[in-house]
Structure 1
C-alpha cells in the first residue's frame, strides 16, 4: 500500500523549501486544464523515459496524483519499480487539493507567473505592436530581437527581427546594437520571454533603451499585422569587446543576487552531496555548441528556454542547480533568474571541467531489456504490413503530422482499454517515434493482446510515414495545443491566452506557495 500525504502537508513542504516533486500522472491535456502550481506533467506511460531526468536522486520525495482516473496508483507503483524509494500519493488527488490551494491551467505556469510578477514589480517597459510596426516602417534606429528558440523564429517572426534566444540576449546585444542610441525591442510569442529578455538587458546595465514587444507575435497578429515566415537572421559571432561588456554586466547582477561561481574543488564538493541533495547539471549554451563538446554529466538546457519552461528540466523543488557556459554570461544571466525563482543556483567556472563528451544530451533512464520475440524489424513490418494491426503511441500531434500507413492512434494512458476493442485474431505492433515508449508499454499491451510486439527503432527507423487517413482508437486529449506556437491558432484562443497571463499575478498571490523573490 502506497503511503499518502495531505495537500496541506505538501504545501507546507513547498513553503519550507524542502525537497519534493509533484507529478501529475494524467495526460498533458487534462493536466493543462487544472493542476497545482508546482505540479509537473509526467504521464504514467512516460515514466521510464522522463522520470530520471526530472528527479535524478532516487531517494527524493515524490508525490503523485490524478483526478480519480486511477493513473496515480499505477504511476506510484511504477516509480517504485524503477528505483524511487520515497513515493507517496496525494491524498484525495486533485479534488482534495482544490480545497486548500489554487488550481492553475495551461503549461509551464511557474515560469509564466514569474514573468508576470517580474513585470508588475520591475515595471518592465513595453511597446505595442502598432508602435513597433511604425518604428520599423519609419526606418527608426531600432532592432528587434526574437528571444524564442530558433525553430519558433523560423516558423514566424516580426519583420526585421533577429533570432537571439533568451540567454543569448545579454551576451550578443553589444554586437547586434553597438550604438547606445539604438532602441532594442525584445519579442517572443506571448509575454514571458519578452519580459524576461527585456529585463535581462536592463539588469545587465545595457546603455540602450530596451522595451518588450507587448504580447509578442500574438499581439502582432491580433492587431492585424503580417508576420514573416522562414527567416534566418541570427546573432553574429561574439567579439572580444562585446564579451567583456556582457561579462561585466551579468557578473555584477549575479553578484548582487548572491550567485556563486564554483571552481573545480567546489564542483567536486557539490557532486559529493548528490546522494543527500538533488543536483541538476545543466549546460545553457545553444544545442549546437553543446553537441560539439560538453562536460560529462551535463544536460543541454538552453538558458532562455530553461527560464521559460523550468519544469521541463527540473521537478524537485528545493534542489540545487549548477549551470555551465564556456562564455559565462549566459549562465550568469540564467542563474540570476533561477535564483529569484526560488532555486539555489550556482555557475561553474569555465575552466573547472573539460568538454570531453560530444553529441546530444544523454538519456537518463532505466535500461530497456528486450526479450526475444518482443520486437519486429522495420523490414519485416514493411514486407508483411497487412498481417498486423499497427498501434501508434506517439503524442497525437506527432501522429497527425506523420504515421505509418494504416496505423491506429491510441492514448498510452488508456492502452489496455482501447486495445481490447481490436480484433483478437490479429497481431498488434506497438510503435512510437524512437521505439522506447512502445517497449516500455509492451507488457501492458500483451495483457490484452497476446503476442503483441514493438517496432524496433520506432517510426524513425521505419521511415515511410503519411499524414493521411488518421484512425483514432482514443480521444486525442493527450496534448495541449499551445496558442502561441504555430500559425493556425484562432484569434479567440490567442486573446484568451493573453487574458489568462494577465491575471496570473493575482492567482499567484492568492495561492501563496511560490517562494519567489523578485529583486528590484
Structure 2
C-alpha cells in the first residue's frame, strides 16, 4: 500500500484526506475470500450499524473510534491484506485505512463503493451481532436436533420436585448478574471439564442455560457430542424466556461447579478422547508450535489460553492471551480477525477444554485450529496480559481528578465521556454530569458546548480520550484537557460517581442504549427466532462461509 505513515502522536497522515488508500472491488474481495488466501474484512461503522444495518458475512466489527485500541489484538499480523468497509466507501473507510496504515498495516484497501457497492455487485449482507457464532447455534439445533425445554416446562419440573441439574454456561460476571433458581455456573469449556462431579448420577437430567439461545444450544450439544450418558436439553431462549414467562430470576448467584476430582477428570479425558477422534483433533508438538511461531510474519497466528483467568494469571505460555473457551465460540469475531489464520488453543495436559473449544471452531468453518498441551515448565509468565497496543499519543494537556472536581464544583468545566456502551450485565460508572460523546463525531459536536470553559475528555482508562484529543489537536481553539487515569482514575481517587445509562448525550443519535421493556424483549426474541429460521439458508446463498458436518 502506498501510504506514507507518520508517528501516531501526530497522526497527520491518518487525518489528511490527501493521502488516498488503495481500493478493492467487491468482485476481487470475494475472489480472494473464496480462494483460501488470508484476508480480513473490517467494518468500521459506529453504533449499531454493523448489527442492524447489515454487514459482509466474514467481516469483523472494528469501530473507527476504537480502531487503534482493538486492531492489534484482532489482527496481530500487520502484513495481512485488510479490506475496510463502511456504507459507501467514502464516509469512514478512507480515514480508517489511513489510521491502520499509521499503526503499521502495510496492505490496507478500502472496499470500492462500500457496502452499497457490495450489494450492487449482487452480493449479500447479513445482520446480527456475532452473527456467524449465533448462526452456528441455529444450524446445529436444527441439523443435530438438539433437545430443548421451555421455561414453562422447566418451571413445572421444579414444582414437581424432579431431580435435575441446571448448568449456566455464561461467564461468571454474567451469571452473577442474573441466573435461574438452582443454577450452577460452568462457563463454556468448563462445562465438560466439571460436569461429571456435579451430577449425582449418569441418569440425572441436565439442563444447559444461557442468556438466550446460542451458548445453551452449543453447551447441550457439546455434552451430547462428548458421549455423556445423561439426558441433556438446552433451555429454549434462556434466562430471557424465564423472565418473559413471568418467572423470577436470581441476582447475585455464586454457586459454581467445582474443579474436577481425579475421578471426574478421568471421565472428562475419556470424553475428550471421543471428541478428538470425531473431529480429527491431534495435539501439536513443541516443535510444531515453534514452527508456527517462526512463520507468524507470513501467516496470522492466534495463541489463546482457554483455561480460567486465574489459571492463566498463575502461569501461561509467553506470547499467549487469555480467552475463555465458551466466549471464543460465542464471540469469535471479537477474538479472530481472519478466518484463514492459525488458531492454537493452549490447555493443561488433559486438553479437555481445548478440545471441546476446537470442536466448535472447526464446526464454525475455521479449518486451521490446533490444541497444545502446555507443560508446567512452559507456563513461565505470570499475571494478566493486556491487549497489544500501538504507541498512543500523549495528550497535550491533562487534568488530575481532584483538580477537575474543583472545576466541576463551580460549573467551570464540561466533561465528555467517550466510552461506548457496556454489555447488559455490566454496570456503567460515570462522573456526575458527564455528557456522552463519540470520538468520530466529537469535532462536530464541540460547537454545541459553552466556549468559555474547558472541555475535559474521559474514557474508562483515559486511552480513548487521549486518542480523541490527538484527533482535535490543531483543529480547535478551545481549551481541551484529558482526565488523568480516565474515569477509573476519578473513582480510584475516591471521588463520587454515578451508575446507569441515563447520561445526557451530545447528540440524541448517540444516546446510550436503554434497558428493554418486557414488550421490547419479547419482540426482540420473536425477531431473533425468525432470524434463526432463515440465517442458514442466507449463508448458503452467500457462499462465503460453510459450517462443515462431522460424522459421529
Per the normalisation by structure 1, the TM-score is: 0.94
* Secondary structure class of the residue paired with 2:498: coil
Alignment of 1:9-48 (within 5 A): 9-33=28-52, 34-48=54-68
- Contact 2:216/2:234 (<8 A) preserved: yes
How far is the alpha carbon of 1:489 from its aligned partner?
5.8
Task: Please state if 1:59 is matched with 2:79.
Answer: yes
Q: What does residue 87 of structure 1 align with?
A: 108
Alignment of 1:311-460 (within 5 A): 311-326=333-348, 327-343=350-366, 344-351=368-375, 354-370=378-394, 373-385=396-408, 386-396=411-421, 401-446=428-473, 447-460=475-488
Q: What does residue 227 of structure 1 align with?
A: 249
2: CA distance, partners of 1:323 / 1:255: 17
Q: What does residue 117 of structure 2 align with?
A: 96
How far is the alpha carbon of 1:284 from its aligned partner?
0.9
Structure 1 stretch displaced more, 277-286 or 354-363: 354-363
* Secondary structure class of the residue paired with 2:181: coil
Q: What does residue 271 of structure 1 align with?
A: 293
Cα deviation 1:186-220 (Å, max 9, x = unaligned): 11111111111011111111111111112212222
2: CA distance, partners of 1:271 / 1:72: 31
Q: What does residue 507 of structure 2 align with?
A: 474
Distance change in 2, residues 1:298/1:44 (3 Å): same
* Secondary structure class of the residue paired with 1:136: helix
- Contact 1:114/1:341 (<8 A) preserved: yes
Per the normalisation by structure 2, the TM-score is: 0.88
Q: What does residue 524 of structure 2 align with?
A: 493
Structure 1 stretch displaced more, 114-123 or 97-106: 97-106
Structure 1 stretch displaced more, 493-502 or 471-480: 471-480
2: CA distance, partners of 1:164 / 1:178: 16
Alignment of 1:99-248 (within 5 A): 99=120, 100-248=122-270
* Secondary structure class of the residue paired with 1:384: helix
How far is the alpha carbon of 1:139 from its aligned partner?
2.0
2: CA distance, partners of 1:397 / 1:388: 25
Q: What does residue 13 of structure 2 align with?
A: none
How far is the alpha carbon of 1:475 from its aligned partner?
3.0
Structure 1 stretch displaced more, 95-104 or 17-26: 95-104
Q: What does residue 91 of structure 2 align with?
A: 70
Q: What does residue 8 of structure 1 align with?
A: 27
2: CA distance, partners of 1:505 / 1:479: 31
* Secondary structure class of the residue paired with 2:45: coil
- Contact 2:469/2:480 (<8 A) preserved: yes
2: CA distance, partners of 1:314 / 1:322: 11
1: CA distance, partners of 2:201 / 2:285: 35
Cα deviation 1:336-368 (Å, max 9, x = unaligned): 111121221111112186222232232201122
How far is the alpha carbon of 1:57 from its aligned partner?
0.1
More contact order relative to length (CA 8 Å, sep ≥ 6): 1
Q: What does residue 304 of structure 1 align with?
A: 326
Q: Which runs of 5+ in 2 are unaligned?
A: 1-19
* Secondary structure class of the residue paired with 1:49: helix
Distance change in 2, residues 1:449/1:467 (3 Å): farther
How far is the alpha carbon of 1:47 from its aligned partner?
1.2
Cα deviation 1:256-282 (Å, max 9, x = unaligned): 322231122121111001000000011
Structure 1 stretch displaced more, 106-115 or 377-386: 377-386
* Secondary structure class of the residue paired with 1:316: coil
Q: What does residue 517 of structure 1 align with?
A: 548
* Secondary structure class of the residue paired with 2:48: helix
Q: What does residue 461 of structure 1 align with?
A: 489
2: CA distance, partners of 1:25 / 1:478: 19
1: CA distance, partners of 2:419 / 2:267: 46
How far is the alpha carbon of 1:506 from its aligned partner?
2.2
